[in-house]
Structure 1
Amino acid sequence: MKPIMVPLAVFLFLPLFGLVMPFFSPAGAGLDVQATSTLSHLWSFVLGEYIVTTLALIFGVGAGVFVLGVGNAWIIASYDFPGKKIFQWALILPLAVPAYVMAYLFVDLLQFSGPIQTALRILLGTDALWFFPDPRSMAGAIWSFSFCLYPYVYLITRTAFIERSRRLIEVSETLGYSPFQGFINLVLPMARPAIFAGMALALMEVLADFGAVSYFGVQTFATGIFKAWLSFGDRLAAVQLALGLLSFVLLIFFVEQSSRSKLRYSSPSQGRSLIKRLSGKKAFFAFAFCGGTILCGFLLPAFALLQLLLKQGLSVDIRYLGWLSNSLSVASLTAVISVALAIFFAYSVRVHAELNWVNRLLSFGYALPGAVLAIGVLSFLEFFQLAWWMSASLLVLVYAYLVRFLSSSLQSVEAGLSRITPSMDGSAALLGLSKSQILRRVHIPLLKRSLMTAGLFVFVDVMKELPATLLLRPFNFDTLAVATYQLAADERLAELALPSLTIVLVSLLPVLLLSRVISKS
């Protein structure tokens, strides 16, 4: 295992090498001049706008997920009120709605011909609502991303709040602070690493998105990459924009890793948790805050999706079965290979602990935006004049998926292995079993649940992935995600209902699994 582990990990890092390979092509100095000229052109016309827009989107969504995630986490962790048992798991349901699907449904609900504006015009007896904001704007993108991604902050922060319970508030009240002052001055600073970790995960999803920002008309690095490669055929501009986007991701990834390193876990204190029972206006406000979050983040999008489905009627696009078959086949293949690789890497580190750094490097793949990953793969293939592989095989697309999503299955398998005591390995070795036999006959049977969870998460991630699929798919190979994006780009919203609903229903599987764990806890 040890001789193969490092070369295999390097193979999974080839897209990163592909981002710098164009600068070492045989063109030599000519390419350097062209690269400088391209960068100068980008800076003069679009790069400044991309930077400003991306920063505005990051700060806006960061504020949104902070308010929604931390607010709901604190209410659920610290108070008891009517509906809490439902809210504590239902608040993660927006994770089942991909950001680009949320964008399409959000605009459909709030546009001029949508049900909300139509109802308001009838109610007010007017032909136009001058005060109603344009949903297809930066503000609309921030709103959509915030309600789609706040569960990342909610899940991590809720755990941090529960571990500290309400005893911190009790202590602060003995010092003369109000509950709100105690929350601001004591609880919030202690939960800061968890909050930063959740926000970093949400913001990396924002940077990786292409479908939603392009539909809102927001010019970010992701949209610039697609324009440079597909519209203008300028691979140098696409590579340079990809490197710019990667710098944003590296910064956020560094913040997330730093925050996680400061997390501390301790056993909960003995005795009953001090949960305060709310009544009257306070209970109503808690119910309204949690209920309003679920309403905007899941119930209204689900309503819009069902409305579009009813508008379409019984007619089904004849291409739907092809999209579904393509999505299921490529997601299943990737999930199986990803689980097999996760077993190999996780067990190799269990046997050779000094190679743990390899698995930590592989976890960086999930932080790579799909557009950056695709540009790295394309640049690598073009450098060796192998780009024709994309039109002939699915292997390039599956490889990109593995680089992007291997870390999620690897973490699940590592967590499962950590629950198997090392003494079992020693006992099996005393019985004459080799390391491979120990893995096959002892560990894999005990890891069945972890392996199923790992495969499920990779399967769903592949079903939802859009940017990498758009750039790397073979000819005439459209998945549900690609079909949904293309139908939305053509403003055929009624026709995207069925593929979108399929993606949401599949994405609900891991969300419901997670909600079941939360409800039991």
Structure 2
Amino acid sequence: MRAWLAPRGLQPVGPAWRAASLLIALGVLAPIASLLWLALNGKAAHWAHLALYVLPNAVVDTALLLAGVGLLVLLIGTGCAWLVSACDFPGRGVLHWALLLPLAMPTYIVAFAYLDLLHPIGPVQGAIRWLLGYDSPREFRLPDLRSLPGAVFVLGFVLYPYVYMTARAMFMTQPAHLLEAARTLGATRSEAFFRVALPLARPALAVGLSLALLETINDIGASEFLGVNTLTVAVYTTWITRSDLAGAAQIACTMLLAVVLLVMLERHGRRHQRFSSGQRMRAMQPRRLQGAAAWAATVVASTPIAIGFAAPALYLVWESVKRFRLGHGLSPALVGSLGNTLMLAAGVTAAAVACGLVVAWSARALRAGSGPRAGAGAARIATLGYAVPGTVLAIGLLTPALALDNALADLLGLRNLPLMTAGIVLVAACATRFLAMPVGAIEAGLSRIPPALEQASRLLGETATGTLCRVHLPLLAPALATSALLVFVDAMKELPATLLLRPANFDTLATLLYAEAARGTYEEGAVAALAIVLAGLLPVAWLARTQLQHQPMGQAAA
């Protein structure tokens, strides 16, 4: 039975809405199609050169980085999720949401901070040498962070919250009687975890792991800072350094293949996931730890927070305060970058939320009027951008954007390219990448609005657009605000697409930090990094508040 029926003789949405939704979906597909066309039309010599000299090292480095990060985020995320779900120990009430804090730290900022913290003449190694009685870095030094293991270390401790969030949500909802039955049959606590709790959480682990690996393959700043030649870094150097757009497109196609494999991994991991309804099962109660075991659990759960958030955040605060104490203050470049960042994030947010509203509203109305599959196509296509790395979107968007830009320049008699110069292409790329957030949030908000309200509005003669404006938008305010916040913060942090598509002499906080790190001037970059981190704390606070609201009553009381 359909969720609701439009009054007889009235279309659920007009042709303008359907056309707009279709255009948005085609706009998301356009960069991918352009990328494939550009790669296939490249010279055979490009393919031969890439196959011999570029791809082997880049593919191996990317595969090793993904494997290392995947293993580390699984160990940290799953272990911490089980610890705070199954055990009660000092500080658990704070740690269960504080473990989300590394999400506020973009990977390139953590790499930027640790490059200075762990420098041979930096504070950490200096303190270790002082404790051991050494005087010179030649006598003792830690392994170089600029390496593949260093990149795995940095990315793993920043991205583990993706696995932690999904695993903890699964552990919190697992029925307690299953674990109790395993214990009754003679299984130890560890055996009950590995043979009962962990297999049940496998779909959630697959989702979290795929998100962490997608962020890893999208990363460019941390990988380049730490000297790992991933496919993303290879795309950037091939395009910017060698001015070889066709070669960059061919490498980007290899990245796209890796993304498809990661999505298939996620689908395969939760292929047997099923949902049941009925009597609510009793949730698992945490076991209270005593003595040394309790404090050991506190230390174990605190370590990822200290490495992934606290240490780099304190470093940024220290460097920023030191800069202000020296009287340098905010440089004109930093002020200009902050203004550019806010302007870019505002434009991306407005575009993404508006397009998400069009897609979600059209999909709902079309599903109601033409069956569930009619409106799902555009919505699913519109959310593909989040799985595509920013470098891939930038390469694919460049060719159609330049063609349109040249046509506009000829039509208006302009010497420059209006879309590129005004930053519209950059806004389009970021909005495409983050469109999945408003589409998902608005669809969830629409699903909670009673169909009777819409039926009454339409029966009273209101159009679909009028119903949306007068009935749905006021009720969708929380969903719109949440999606706008997430898009705004992610747009502030976005580095790959901004590096490749920004107008001339246009720096954001992320690109300014990238440039300062490349020059080794960490003090100026620390202020920019701190501003990005402070903005990133907003969605993390929202996530923590959501987790507290959805925590089972028994665990909340504990």
Q: Indicate the larger mover: 268-277 or 345-354.
A: 268-277
Which of 160, 166, 175 is matched with 2:170 structurally? 160
Task: Give the aligned partner of residue 237 of structure 1.
Answer: 247
Q: Which residue of 2 aligns with 1:513?
A: 542
Kindly state the Cα deviation for residue 52 of structure 1 after the two structures are TM-superposed: 0.6
- Residue by residue, what CA displacement relative to the aligned partner does 1:364-404 show, whole Å, maximum 9, x if unpaired? 10011011111111233356673934542211111101110
CA distance in structure 1 between the partners assigned to 2:313 and 2:140 by the alignment: 27
CA distance 1:444–1:384, shift in 2 (3 Å): closer
Letter in 2 for 1:164: Q
TM-score by length of 2: 0.89
Residue correspondence of structure 1 range 186-265 to structure 2 within 5 A:
186-260=196-270, 262-265=272-275
Q: Deviations over 1:86-117 (max 9, x none)?
A: 01110001000000001111221111122110
**Bigger CA drift: 352-361 or 97-106?**
352-361
8 Å contact 1:88–1:519 — kept in the other structure? no
Among 25, 44, 54, which residue is 2:52 paired with? 44
Shift of 1:204: 0.2
The structure 2 residue matched to 1:277, chosen from 262, 265, 288, is 288
Match of 2:312 in 1: 301
CA distance in 2, matches of 1:69, 1:112: 30
* 8 Å CA contact 1:393, 1:474 repeated in 2: yes
Contact 1:222/1:371 (<8 A) preserved:
yes
Q: Deviations over 1:95-150 (max 9, x none)?
A: 00000001111221111122110111111121235462111111111011011100
- Residue of structure 2 equivalent to 1:100: 108
Deviation at 1:263, TM superposition (A): 3.4
Instruction: Determine the structure 2 residue equivalent to 1:117.
Output: 125
Alpha-carbon RMSD across the aligned residues, in angstroms, is 1.8
Equivalent residue for 1:370? 390
Structure-1 residue corresponding to 2:515: 486
Deviates more, 1:126-135 or 1:54-63: 126-135
* Counterpart AA for 2:266: E
Deviation of 1:22 after TM superposition, in Å, equals: 2.5
Q: Which residue of structure 1 aligns with residue 143 of structure 2? A: 133
* 2:184 counterpart of 1:174: yes
Q: Provide the C-alpha distance between the structure 1 equivalents of 2:431 and 2:89, rounded to a whole number of angstroms.
A: 44
1:67 is aligned with what amino acid? L
Question: Partner residue of 2:358?
Answer: 344
> Which one-letter code corresponds to 1:328 in the other structure?
L
**CA distance in structure 1 between the partners assigned to 2:73 and 2:283 by the alignment:** 30
Question: Secondary structure, in 3 states, of the residue corresponding to 1:191?
Answer: helix
- Consecutive unaligned residues of structure 2, counting only runs of 5 or more, are 1-16, 368-373, 407-415, 552-558
Question: In terms of mean alpha carbon deviation, does 179-188 or 305-314 score higher?
Answer: 305-314
Structure 2: which amino acid aligns with 1:40? A
In structure 2, relative to structure 1, the CA distance for the partners of 1:272 and 1:218 (3 Å cut) is closer
Cα offset, 1:435, TM superposition? 1.2
Asked if 2 retains the 8 angstrom alpha-carbon contact of 1:228 and 1:238, the reply is yes
AA of the residue aligned to 1:203: L
Q: Which amino acid aligns with 2:380?
A: R
- What is the CA–CA distance in structure 1 between the aligned matches of 2:392 and 2:487, rounded to whole Å? 19
Name the CA distance, whole Å, in 1 between partners of 2:62 and 2:68: 10
TM-superposed CA distance for 1:262, in Å, is 3.9
Residue 414 (structure 1) aligned to one of 443, 452, 455: 443
Q: Distance in 2 between matches of 1:155 and 1:453?
A: 18
Query: Which residue, 445, 458, 464 being the options, matches 2:487?
Result: 458
Q: For each residue in 1:466-502, what CA deviation from the matched residue of structure 2 results, as whole angstroms up to 9, or x when unmatched? A: 0100110111111000001100011111111111000
State the partner residue of 2:462.
433
In the alignment, the residues of structure 1 paired with residue 500 and residue 419 of structure 2 have an alpha-carbon distance, to the nearest angstrom, of 10
Deviation at residue 260 of structure 1 after TM alignment:
4.7
Q: Secondary structure at the match of 1:82?
A: coil
Determine if contact 2:341/2:492 at 8 Å carries over to the other structure: yes
Q: Residue type matched to 2:93 in 1? A: K
1:313-346 deviations in whole A, cap 9, x for unaligned?
Answer: 3412221111011110111111112111111111
Which digits, 9 at most, give the CA deviation of each residue in 1:419-442, with x for residues without a partner? 112222112222222211111111
Paired with 2:234 and 2:190, the residues of 1 have a C-alpha distance of 44
SS at match of 1:13: helix
User: Distance between the aligned counterparts of 1:231 and 1:206, measured in 2?
Assistant: 23
Whole-Å separation in 2 of the counterparts to 1:52 and 1:479: 32
- Assess, with a 3 A threshold, how the Cα gap between structure 1 residues 385 and 402 changes in structure 2: closer, same or farther: closer
Mapping of residues 487-506 of structure 1, within 5 Å = 487-506=516-535
